[in-house]
């Protein structure tokens, strides 16, 4: 399984754009990059998934360079409610595949 490395913590202010970068040097050809968000005492919630280039949804954007050895989650105009732990995961796109979580990035948004 590909190992992921991301910053332990980040701080931001309301209204700013936040970019969290994840390194996954050993990503396999059939692996997808997925990001989850977790609030205290809750289960993780899916944010976005991508394979290459750029993916955007109503919550975030995911930028993946051509070599796929890293990815960047972009959260536009964060608010206090975006304070959470963000996990970058690399997993094969197969039904029934368990997700292996790394340490995650704790994002703290202040007013």
What's the rounded Cα separation, in Å, for the pair 41 and 108?
A: 16
CB of 103 to other proteins, least distance (A): 5
Place of tokens 């796109």: 93
Q: Which is nearer to other proteins, 18 or 44 (CB)?
A: 44
DSSP 95: T
18 touching other proteins, by CB under 8 A: no
87 touching other proteins, by CB under 8 A: yes
Cβ partners under 8 Å of residue 97, min gap 6? 91
96 touching other proteins, by CB under 8 A: yes
Cβ partners under 8 Å of residue 67, min gap 6? none
Segment near other proteins (CB under 8 A), from 15-23, 65-73, 76-84, 96-104?
96-104
Contact set with other proteins (CB under 8 A):
32, 34, 41-46, 49, 87, 91-104
């Amino acid at each position: 399984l590909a190992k992921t490395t991301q910053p332990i913590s980040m701080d931001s202010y309301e209204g700013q754009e936040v970019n969290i970068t994840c390194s996954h040097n050993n990503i396999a050809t059939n692996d997808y990059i997925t990001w989850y968000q977790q609030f205290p005492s809750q289960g993780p919630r899916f944010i976005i998934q991508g394979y290459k280039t750029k993916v955007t949804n109503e919550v975030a954007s995911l930028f993946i360079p051509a070599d796929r050895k890293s990815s960047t989650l972009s959260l536009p105009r964060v608010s206090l409610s975006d304070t959470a732990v963000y996990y970058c995961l690399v997993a094969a796109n197969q039904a029934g595949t368990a997700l292996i979580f790394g340490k995650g990035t704790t994002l703290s948004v202040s007013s």
